[in-house]
């Protein structure tokens, strides 16, 4: 029977990252480095805070935009790390970054509208626009020598009268590219002038290796600019399975977001939000340890891959991903499937990330150096 499913939904493609993950699922001894999460469990002090809140009965519906204690902690977090004052009414706790993205699209994109996105880009992002009936226009980063660079003229030239959103993740997934503050400023000004949204996805902004934090759109946006900053507890505090994130929105939007939150999730889980307060207030040592561990891991994989004859590695400034090309291998999806079967290493195919991704593989290096070293040993014969 033909079920009455909307055409936009029928046309959604399966994520090729998930496809490779499925191929590897249950394969004994597989080293899966194709998925976007680290191997460390959430720190105990964070889990304990959730446990205590549960036992204390924090199990009821709560504030749509999140418990006041968490909004308060988030305001302090933005002040401490980026020196910005964010009014309480601009903060909304969401069911992780994905839900924040979906809410942003519900606000911004309708049938026939378009979103201009810096690519390669995580496929879930373009799916959110497509679900709304929008078109996604990708503007690929250039990769010159060993680094990624955005041509702002190309980004702006891709916008037309139906553009409602410019999206950029900085630090980027899958590239680890960091958008310079001057470029962020130029995009904010462009969006202000055109009255279109800038969605600044900053979920990796603490996983950066040459400075303390990545630049944020909040440093240059005025409180009433059409800028939505998407963030998450997933990566910074090793909480991918918790599904808690937040967004910072312009003044005047909170009633709209509250309504949408009501109709999407009816608000988040208060006991999880208590744990997020603990993450923010007591989590800095963990973040520092995670960054140090990832830095060592990045250096190891950059050096090992760089030493393989057919490999071209691009520099990773931030996030926990590295992108590389293998000479003579044009079909990254087929290559990723072959590596699962024959090398027993899972990597994400670059073609999953839209324009500019094909020909690359993405490796998530948030793992122990022992495991990464073993993965490199297994890959070497295939790339030499």
Ligand X SMILES: Cc1ncc(COP(=O)(O)O)c(C=O)c1O
Instruction: Provide CB contacts within 8 A for 292, sequence distance 6+.
Output: none
| Complex with ligand X: residue 95 or 308, whichever CB lies closer | 95
Rounded CA-CA distance 155/143 in Å is 15
With binding defined as CB under 6 A, does residue 36 bind ligand X?
Answer: yes
With binding defined as CB under 6 A, does residue 170 bind ligand X?
Answer: no
Stretch of 93-101, 107-115, 155-163, 352-360 contacting ligand X, by CB under 6 A: 93-101
344 token code pair: 């027993």
Site for ligand X in 351-380 (CB under 6 A): none
With binding defined as CB under 6 A, does residue 98 bind ligand X?
Answer: yes
Rounded CA-CA distance 187/227 in Å is 10
With binding defined as CB under 6 A, does residue 232 bind ligand X?
Answer: yes
| Complex with ligand X: residue 105 or 311, whichever CB lies closer | 105
* Residue located via tokens 């979103």: 115
With binding defined as CB under 6 A, does residue 240 bind ligand X?
Answer: yes
Least separation in angstroms between CB 328 and ligand X: 29
With binding defined as CB under 6 A, does residue 203 bind ligand X?
Answer: yes
| Complex with ligand X: residue 269 or 329, whichever CB lies closer | 269
Q: Which class for 142: exposed (0-12), middle (13-18), buried (19 or more C-beta within 10 A)?
A: exposed
Instruction: Provide CB contacts within 8 A for 183, sequence distance 6+.
Output: 150, 152
Least separation in angstroms between CB 171 and ligand X: 8
Rounded CA-CA distance 346/216 in Å is 32
Among residues 43, 66, 97, 357, the one that binds ligand X under rule CB under 6 A: 97
Pairing mode of beta strands 91-94, 245-248? antiparallel
Among residues 163, 234, 302, 351, the one that binds ligand X under rule CB under 6 A: 234
Listed residue (295, 315, 317, 318) closest to 372, CA to CA: 295
Count of residues touching ligand X (by CB under 6 A):
13
Least separation in angstroms between CB 169 and ligand X: 4
Stretch of 21-29, 42-50, 96-104, 154-162 contacting ligand X, by CB under 6 A: 96-104
DSSP category for residue 118 = E
Rounded CA-CA distance 337/335 in Å is 5
With binding defined as CB under 6 A, does residue 165 bind ligand X?
Answer: no
Our CA angle for 171, 172, 175, nearest 5°, is 120
Least separation in angstroms between CB 202 and ligand X: 9
Q: Residues interacting with ligand X, by CB under 6 A?
A: 36, 96-98, 122, 169, 173, 201, 203, 232, 234, 240, 245
């Amino acid at each position: 029977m033909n079920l009455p499913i909307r055409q936009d939904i029928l046309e959604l493609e399966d994520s090729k990252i998930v496809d490779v993950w499925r191929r590897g699922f249950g394969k004994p001894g597989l080293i899966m480095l194709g998925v976007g999460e680290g191997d460390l469990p959430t720190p105990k002090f964070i889990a304990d805070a959730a446990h205590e809140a549960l036992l204390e009965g924090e199990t009821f519906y709560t504030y749509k935009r999140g418990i006041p204690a968490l909004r308060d902690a988030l305001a302090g977090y933005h002040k401490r790390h980026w020196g910005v004052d964010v009014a309480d009414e601009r903060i909304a706790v969401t069911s992780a970054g994905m839900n924040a993205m979906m809410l942003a699209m519900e606000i911004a994109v309708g049938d026939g509208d378009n979103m201009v996105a810096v690519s390669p880009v995580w496929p879930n992002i373009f799916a959110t626009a497509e679900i709304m009936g929008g078109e996604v226009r990708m503007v690929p980063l250039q990769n010159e020598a060993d680094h990624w660079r955005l041509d702002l003229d190309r980004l702006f030239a891709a916008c037309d009268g139906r553009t409602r959103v410019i999206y950029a993740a900085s630090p980027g997934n899958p590239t680890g590219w960091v958008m310079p503050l001057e470029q962020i400023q130029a995009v904010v000004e462009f969006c202000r002038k055109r009255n279109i949204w800038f969605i600044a996805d900053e979920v990796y902004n603490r996983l950066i290796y040459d400075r303390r934090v990545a630049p944020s759109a909040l440093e240059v946006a005025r409180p009433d600019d059409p800028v939505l900053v998407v963030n998450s507890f997933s990566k910074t505090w090793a909480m991918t399975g918790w599904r808690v994130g937040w967004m910072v929105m312009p003044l005047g939007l909170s009633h709209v977001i509250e309504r949408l939150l009501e109709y999407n999730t009816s608000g988040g889980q208060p006991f999880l939000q208590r744990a997020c307060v603990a993450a923010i207030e007591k989590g800095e040592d963990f973040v520092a340890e995670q960054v140090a561990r990832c830095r060592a891991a990045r250096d190891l994989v950059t050096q090992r891959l760089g030493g393989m004859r057919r490999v071209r590695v691009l520099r990773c400034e931030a996030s926990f991903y590295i992108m590389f090309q293998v000479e003579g291998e044009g079909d990254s999806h087929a290559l990723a499937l072959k590596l699962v079967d024959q090398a027993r290493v899972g990597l994400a195919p670059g073609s999953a990330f839209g324009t500019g991704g094909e020909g690359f593989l993405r490796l998530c290096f948030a793992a122990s150096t022992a495991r990464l070293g073993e993965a490199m040993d297994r890959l070497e014969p295939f790339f030499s």
